[in-house]
Amino acid sequence: MARRKKIYEGKAKILYEGPEPGTIVQYFKDDATAFNAEKKAVIEGKGVLNNRLSEFFMTGLGQIGVPTHFIKRLNMREQLVRSVEIIPLEVIVRNYAAGSMSKRLGIEEGTQLPRPIVEYCYKDDALGDPLVTEEHIAAFGWASQQDMDDILSLALRVNDFLSGVMLAVGIRLVDFKIEVGRVYEGDFMRLLLADEISPDSCRLWDIETGQKLDKDVFRRDLGNLADAYTEVARRLGVLPKTNTAVKKPTLIN
Ligand code: UDP
């Protein structure tokens, strides 16, 4: 059997050429990294959970009319997605202060923001993904004004959807990061939500206890990351409601 072609290997995912032109297979690894890959570990089961969770969020967003790259989940660790030209920006939406914003502006973590705040970082690992303004984005031609209008409304729609879905299961969506890509259809170009939506790229706090259920568990050594992600998946009904702690043979579909 011919070996499939690897297109790109990132910190948490591998991209392979898909079965048809314009498609890509996204493989979710168990690798966890933080602080621009200074801290690394393999968290058994993380890839399987993120594959399922990203499928769940992307499918739900598709159902409310948000265009995404997601086509279908292929197996435990892989999903088929549309190939896009990634816009080199990390689009961050914040509802509560945390992480780099708390540090930068001296706002206590957990403070509710007056309204959702959208930030843009330039995707460049060597530079540590620096915060940029729309001036930089326009001047360097990373995205047009029309793209930026579309990205802003896309980001806010994703925020409303995810905030509601999380609230329904007792989880506060503190902040999250998305990536947006372009697809060309004839003479037209459209933007799609790309990459992944998972607890790797969100901050999720239990509403009652404040317990962190996201990658901060790994970043800040707060416990077992796979347990936190399993809890998110269980609450959302993404995992079967059986006791997943008991390891027994299961049929994979
Ligand atoms: N984030 C991400 N990838 C990055 C940077 C940030 O997924 O390369 C997510 C992060 O998980 C959090 C949000 O974006 O949900 C805001 O992150 P922040 O700027 O506070 O940076 P951090 O504190 O993670 O360094």
98 to 3, 38, 52, 173, 228: CA distances (angstroms): 43, 20, 26, 11, 18
Residue ranges and CATH numbers for the domains of the chain are 6-82 (3.30.200.20), 85-225 (3.30.470.20)
- How many Å apart are CA 217 and CA 146, to the nearest integer? 37
- Confirm or reject: Cβ of 90 under 6 Å from ligand 1: yes
- Confirm or reject: Cβ of 129 under 6 Å from ligand 1: yes
Q: What is this structure's pTM?
A: 0.94
Give residue 252's pLDDT. Answer: 73
Work out which ligand 1 atom sits closest to the CA atom of 203.
15
Interior/surface letters 88-116, b for 16+ CB within 10 angstroms, e for the rest: bbbbbbbbbbbeebbeeeeeebeeeeeeb
Give residue 114's pLDDT. Answer: 98
Residue of the CA atom closest to atom 21 of ligand 1: 100
Q: What is the pLDDT along the chain (253 residues), one digit of tens a residue?
A: 667 899 999 999 999 999 999 999 999 999 999 998 999 999 999 999 999 999 999 999 999 999 999 999 999 999 999 999 999 999 999 999 999 999 999 999 999 999 999 999 999 999 999 999 999 999 999 999 999 999 999 999 999 999 999 999 999 999 999 999 999 999 999 999 999 999 999 999 999 999 999 999 999 999 999 999 999 999 999 986 555 555 667 777 6
Give residue 245's pLDDT. Answer: 54
- Confirm or reject: Cβ of 203 under 6 Å from ligand 1: yes
CA gyration radius, the chain: 18
Quick check: 209 and 231 in contact, CB under 8 A? no
CA–centroid distance, 243 to ligand 1, in Å, is: 31
Express each pLDDT in 118-142 by its tens digit.
Answer: 999 999 999 999 999 999 999 999 9
Express each pLDDT in 194-209 by its tens digit.
Answer: 999 999 999 999 999 9
- Confirm or reject: Cβ of 216 under 6 Å from ligand 1: no
Q: Strands 23-28 and 78-82: what pairing?
A: antiparallel
- Confirm or reject: Cβ of 218 under 6 Å from ligand 1: no
CA–centroid distance, 32 to ligand 1, in Å, is: 13
Residue of the CA atom closest to atom 25 of ligand 1: 100
**DSSP assignment, residue 212?**
B
Residue of the CA atom closest to atom 23 of ligand 1: 99
